[in-house]
Each structure stands twice: as structure tokens, then as C-alpha cells.
């Protein structure tokens, strides 16, 4: 079996660097090309981590049946993004990788992976033990899936349907942390770049968690200015949270007679778009305007300046979703709503408050 030392020799780096890359250490300073070379070399040599080797010895999870017979478990992933859309946002790639990794540990087969290019074929859920529903889905669609598949868990979304398990981060609380921090460091005119939900044919203009928390925080202090809200439009929330929308919405904020001194972007991709708009305007980050975002995707640390962002544990959300399904398959008959903590990572795009 190939070792970390052999991978290090093949790539020309230290064993410690290889270990940190393969364990997804986001604090490691290494070029993206070198990181990719390590990952590809490990895959080519069929390297398995110690945990993976241990899990290889685990028996497959089975579902107890009324007849006392046992059958292997399998699950479906119903994603709200098509594959090409998922690639635009590495955060959701992380959620899916977390699901897949935990399924490998339990030896659970992933039987189907759906995307929204066509309506979900409910017949394909027949015989599926459980389903992970990733992202925003209409309530009617969730209810329809529940009639076919006995166990559903929502990953990165709370549909306000208490009968279903869900796991997510509290983005409202995370937004408040960011705003409190920016306020402490002297930023007073803070703009927001994001999107609005269109769910079940109803437009929820300010219904998204980050957007709602942003408005409430400012209203409580008597400082809300509607012109500082720059929201993109999309038919399915999430699709528009990309570089292009971040760029266009940031441009609208910069065109104001009194521009913001800081921008909070709904995710890192939008922040990257905002960087471009700011640089084209001849402004400097953070001297003229600060930028803060959410997710902490790998590229965030390589921007100029490196992006300050709220780290959301995408892979862990995927792992916990599978753990919740395993509990259901093993007999738990009540729902659980799990909220995972976020972590603010301050880098060069904004002044760091003293509390961090």
C-alpha cells in the first residue's frame, strides 16, 4: 500500500505537506497547482487514509426488517443544482463529497443522484432506503418524495416542515456576527450583495436568511438603507449566487452617490465578482471598501487581498445528513434538527476586529 512518503517524493514536497493537503487543511499555504498534483498523485497511486483503511473492514449497514431478514441500505441524493451548476459553487461540491464519504464509511450504496434539469421521477425512488435532499426544494415536491421514500433528511436547508430531519448552519446568526464585527471596526455604511428566493411560485424578496438578518440588524439600530441592498433575481434561489451576479450587484452599489464602506456578499463567488467591480472602479480593498462573504471555498485564501469569510462546514453538513439517515434506519422515530457552528476567518479584505 502506497505511503504518504512515497507521494511526497513523487510530487517533490514534504510528507507533512502531503498529509495536510489530504486532510483538507485550509490553513496550509501551498499553490493550487501543487495541491492538485498531490491529490491526483494520491488518487493515481490508490492511496487510502488510515480512517478509510479502517472503514474498509466495517460490515455494510443493513436495515432491520419485520421478518428479521436484512437488506443492504442504499440512498438517493436529490440535489437542487444540476452538475454544471454545482461546479460553479465549490461549497455544494463539499456537501456532496461529505455525503459520499460518509456513505463509503457505512458501506451504503448511493443509488441515484438527481438534478433539477427534469422533474424528479418519483418512480426512481421506489426501493430506496432513504434520501438526502440537498438545498432548497418546494414543499410540494418534498411531500411527494416522502410518499415514496420513507426517510428524508434535508441538507443545508430547513423547509419549516418539522417532521423531517435537517442539518444546516445558522446563517442568520452568522450574518449578525459579521455585522457586529464590521461595526466594531468602524464600518458604518454596509452594503449587501445577494439574491432572493422564488419558492412555490412566491417571490420572497427578503426571505433568505442572510438578507433577512442583514435588514433586521440595521432596522434595530435605525440604520437600514434600502439602497444598500443589491439582490439578484433567479427562478431558483442559488443559481444566481455566482461571480457574474456579484459583479453586477456590486457595480450598482458602487454607483450610488454615497457608496458603502463595506460589502457583505452572500457567498464567496459573489465576493469574487464584487472584487472585479471594485478594482474596475479604481478602488482598493480594504482601504476604500471592505469585502466579507460566506463559505470559505478554497480559492478565498488566494485572492488579492485574501478574502475574509464565514466558514460554513459544507462537508460536515453532508456527513451529518448521512448520520441522521443511519439513525432513522436503525429505528429512531422522531425528527432531529441539527445546527452546526460556523467560524469567521479574517483575512486581508477587511479590518479585523479586536474580539477575534
Distance CA 129, CA 316 (A): 22
Distance CA 203, CA 242 (A): 20
194 touches 270 (CB < 8 A): yes
**Phi, psi of 346, rounded to the nearest 5 degrees:** -90, 125
Give yes or no for residue 131 having a pLDDT over 50.
Answer: yes
Whose CA is closest to 38, among 10, 2, 67, 77? 10
Q: How confident is the model at residue 50, as a pLDDT?
A: 55
Distance CA 348, CA 59 (A): 47
61 touches 326 (CB < 8 A): yes
Span 206-245, pLDDT tens digits: 568 899 999 999 999 999 999 999 998 654 444 445 788 8
Span 163-205, pLDDT tens digits: 999 999 999 999 999 999 999 999 999 999 997 765 554 555 5
Span 278-291, pLDDT tens digits: 999 999 999 999 99
Cα separation values, 355 from 171, 237, 344, 348, Å: 20, 33, 11, 16
Report the relative pairing of strands 197-199 and 202-204 from DSSP bridges: antiparallel
Q: How confident is the model at residue 239, as a pLDDT?
A: 41
| 40 or 155, which is more confident | 155
The secondary structure element, H or E, covering residue 154 is: strand 152-155
Read off the pTM. 0.76
Span 241-269, pLDDT tens digits: 578 889 999 999 999 999 999 999 999 99
Amino acid at each position: 500500500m502506497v505511503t504518504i512518503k512515497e507521494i511526497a517524493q513523487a510530487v517533490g514536497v514534504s510528507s507533512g505537506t502531503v498529509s495536510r493537503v489530504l486532510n483538507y487543511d485550509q490553513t496550509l499555504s501551498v499553490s493550487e497547482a501543487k495541491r492538485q498534483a498531490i491529490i491526483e498523485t494520491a488518487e493515481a497511486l490508490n492511496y487510502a487514509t488510515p480512517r478509510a483503511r479502517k472503514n474498509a473492514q466495517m460490515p455494510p449497514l443493513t436495515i432491520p426488517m419485520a421478518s428479521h431478514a436484512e437488506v443492504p441500505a442504499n440512498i438517493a441524493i436529490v440535489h437542487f443544482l444540476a452538475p454544471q451548476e454545482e461546479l460553479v459553487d465549490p461549497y455544494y461540491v463539499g456537501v456532496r463529497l461529505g455525503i459520499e464519504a460518509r456513505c463509503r464509511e457505512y458501506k451504503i450504496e448511493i443509488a441515484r443522484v438527481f438534478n433539477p434539469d427534469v422533474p424528479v421521477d418519483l418512480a426512481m425512488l421506489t426501493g430506496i432506503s432513504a434520501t438526502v435532499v440537498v438545498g432548497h426544494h418546494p414543499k410540494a415536491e418534498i411531500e411527494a418524495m416522502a410518499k415514496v421514500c420513507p426517510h428524508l433528511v434535508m441538507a443545508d436547508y430547513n423547509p419549516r416542515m418539522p417532521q423531517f430531519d435537517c442539518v444546516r448552519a445558522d446563517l442568520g446568526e452568522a450574518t449578525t456576527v459579521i455585522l457586529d464585527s464590521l461595526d466594531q471596526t468602524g464600518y458604518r455604511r454596509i452594503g449587501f450583495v445577494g439574491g432572493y428566493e422564488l419558492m412555490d411560485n412566491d417571490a420572497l424578496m427578503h426571505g433568505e436568511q442572510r438578507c433577512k438578518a442583514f435588514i433586521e440588524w440595521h432596522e434595530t439600530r435605525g440604520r437600514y438603507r434600502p439602497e444598500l441592498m443589491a439582490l439578484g433575481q433567479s427562478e431558483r434561489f442559488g443559481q444566481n449566487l455566482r461571480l457574474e451576479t456579484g459583479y453586477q450587484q456590486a457595480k450598482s452599489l458602487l454607483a450610488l452617490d454615497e457608496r458603502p464602506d463595506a460589502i457583505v456578499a452572500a457567498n464567496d463567488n459573489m465576493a469574487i465578482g464584487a472584487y472585479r467591480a471594485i478594482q474596475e472602479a479604481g478602488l482598493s480593498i480594504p482601504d476604500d471598501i471592505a469585502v466579507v462573504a460566506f463559505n470559505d471555498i478554497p480559492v478565498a485564501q488566494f485572492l488579492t487581498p485574501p478574502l475574509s469569510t464565514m466558514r460554513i462546514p459544507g462537508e460536515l453538513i453532508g456527513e451529518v445528513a448521512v448520520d441522521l439517515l443511519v439513525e432513522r434506519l436503525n429505528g429512531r422515530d422522531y425528527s432531529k434538527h441539527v445546527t452546526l457552528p460556523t467560524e469567521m476567518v479574517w483575512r486581508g479584505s477587511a479590518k479585523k476586529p479586536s474580539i477575534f
